[in-house]
Amino acid sequence: MNRRHFLSLSALTAAGFPACNSQPPDPNAPVRFGHFPNITHVQALVAHHLSRIGKGWYESRLGVPVEWFTYNAGPSATEAIFSGSLDVTYIGPSPVLNAYAKSRGADIRILAGAANGGSSILVRSPSNIRTIADFKGKKIATPQFGNTQDVQMRALLTENGFKITQTGGDAMILPTQNADLLSLFQQGGIDAAWAPEPFASVLELEGGAVNFKEDRDTNVTMLVSSVAFLKNRPGPARKLAAAHRELTEWIKANSAEAREMLVAELKELTTKEPKAAVVEMALARVILTNDLSRPSLEKMVLGAKNAGFISEFPPLDELLSHSHP
């Protein structure tokens, strides 16, 4: 699996100042693409697989090589954007909004939507969680501190009167690798999880979990870019969103072939082929779309504020300034 790990942001970067490189950009350098091994990243899985077998979708349309990097969740990918180690990535909204706020609107832009929905809150039957109030005192897994599902979970509990801190409070939210969720459910190590697909479907079909809440409305995946890439490499940057939109439409029109590629790529990245029933359930919950919902993003901003992730937030206009068809 092609995977890189990055150090935490330096104090300078965290304050909103990107790492600088005085060297002029190489027009033939690879475009560095990020994504997660999630079914909510359908376009990335298909494109990564095409790159792997020498039929690169983005390579043929951008005219330069592409390098792929995978992450468990969004905050790691935005750190890579900030550090200059990544040019573009498929990612969920919360880390993007947090990065946009931290950089005071300077360093990141949304290019297009990719998928809606595709995540659920799953609960263990023995935990006896029937209402939101029942989450009190429970252990709840999310993919990474500050990722989309993590912020959504914290906001949901906060809005319902819970006191939630980074280390505990009325319920304990535990950042957890998605691949570890099933064993933790089976061992009783956690009571619930807000998980993206296919991990939500795995918990239902293989872990006996109960779907407490399915999210079908959130812009769960979008394509974003560093501002540096847009400025320094205008040629590939101009073609990028169009290539992504074309890929989305190709997948919709060739669903069976795309599904085979998606499954093959997940097997490569996770060393385990997902079961057919899991793929079927997961794909039914993911709505492919190139569109962005500003109300969905505004709701996410409000949730991040309520959960204490951001206080001041720049207007969304600059973040969306490159997202037109």
Structural domain boundaries of the chain? 11-16+26-118+219-319, 119-215
Residue entry with tokens 């500003």: 294
On whether the CB atoms of residues 36 and 103 are closer than 8 A, the answer is: no
Averaged pLDDT in 10-residue chunks for the chain of 325 residues:
35 38 73 95 98 97 96 88 94 92 92 95 94 96 90 93 86 92 94 95 94 92 96 92 97 97 96 94 95 90 85 89 78
On whether the CB atoms of residues 42 and 115 are closer than 8 A, the answer is: yes
Looking at residue 49, its pLDDT comes to 98
Looking at residue 27, its pLDDT comes to 78
- How far, in Å, CA of 83 to CA of 10, rounded? 9
Looking at residue 2, its pLDDT comes to 41
Tell me the CA distances in angstroms from 233 to 16, 25, 236, 244, one per residue in order: 22, 7, 6, 17
| β-pair partners for 175 | 142
Match domain 119-215 to its CATH number in 3.20.20.10, 3.40.190.10, 3.40.50.2000, 3.40.50.10610: 3.40.190.10
Looking at residue 147, its pLDDT comes to 87
Q: For the chain, what is the radius of gyration of the CA atoms?
A: 19
- Fold: same for 11-16+26-118+219-319 and 119-215: yes
Residue entry with tokens 């349309």: 61
| β-pair partners for 192 | 123, 140
- Look at the domain 11-16+26-118+219-319 and name its fold: D-Maltodextrin-Binding Protein; domain 2 (3.40.190)
> What pTM value is reported for the model?
0.84
Looking at residue 16, its pLDDT comes to 39
- Contacts of 248 by beta carbon, 8 Å cutoff, 6+ apart: 43, 114, 288, 289, 290
What one-letter code names the amino acid at 71? Y
- How far, in Å, CA of 85 to CA of 12, rounded? 16
Looking at residue 146, its pLDDT comes to 85
Looking at residue 23, its pLDDT comes to 61
On whether the CB atoms of residues 196 and 205 are closer than 8 A, the answer is: no
- How far, in Å, CA of 259 to CA of 254, rounded? 9
> Phi, psi (5° rounding) for residue 141?
-90, 140
Looking at residue 24, its pLDDT comes to 64
Q: Are strands 108-117 and 172-175 parallel, antiparallel or unpaired?
A: unpaired
